[in-house]
C-alpha cells in the first residue's frame, strides 16, 4: 500500500490535559476574536498575534464572563497569557 494518512496517532497521557486546555483556549480566542473583528475593535493582524495584549485579554475575559458563547470556558485560567502580555510589552513580540 502506498501513501499514508497524516494526523495525530496518539497523545501521551501526561500531555493530554495540556492539549485539551490549549485547544479550548484557542477555540474561545477564535470566537471572541471574530466578535472583536466584527465590531471593528481590532484588526485581523492584531487578533492573529501570538501574544494578545492585556487590553485584548481583558476583553476576552469579559466575553467569557458575559457572553453566552463564552460560558463553557469560564474554568480556564489566563494568568500565563497575562504574564506573556506583560513580557511582550517590555520586549516586543518575538514570533509571528
In the chain, % of residues over pLDDT 90? 73
* pTM of full prediction above 0.85: no
Q: What is the pLDDT of residue 76?
A: 98
User: What is the sign of the dihedral through the CA atoms of 80, 81, 82 and 84?
Assistant: positive
Residue 11, C-alpha cell as written in the block:
497523545
pLDDT digits (tens, 9 = 90+) for 20-67: 999 999 999 999 999 999 999 999 999 999 899 999 999 999 999 999
Burial class (CB in 10 A: 0-12, 13-18, 19+), 66: exposed
Give the residue extent of every domain in the chain. 15-90
Distance between CA atoms of 12 and 43, rounded to whole angstroms? 37
What pLDDT does 91 receive? 62
Q: What is the pLDDT of residue 6?
A: 66
Amino acid at each position: 500500500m502506498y501513501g499514508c494518512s497524516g494526523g495525530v496517532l496518539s497523545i501521551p497521557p501526561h500531555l493530554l490535559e495540556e492539549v485539551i486546555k490549549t485547544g479550548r483556549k484557542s477555540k474561545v480566542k477564535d470566537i471572541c476574536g471574530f466578535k472583536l473583528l466584527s465590531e471593528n475593535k481590532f484588526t485581523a493582524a492584531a487578533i492573529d498575534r501570538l501574544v494578545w495584549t492585556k487590553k485584548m485579554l481583558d476583553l476576552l475575559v469579559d466575553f467569557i464572563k458575559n457572553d453566552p458563547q463564552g460560558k463553557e470556558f469560564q474554568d480556564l485560567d489566563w494568568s500565563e497569557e497575562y504574564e506573556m502580555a506583560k513580557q511582550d510589552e517590555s520586549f516586543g513580540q518575538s514570533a509571528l
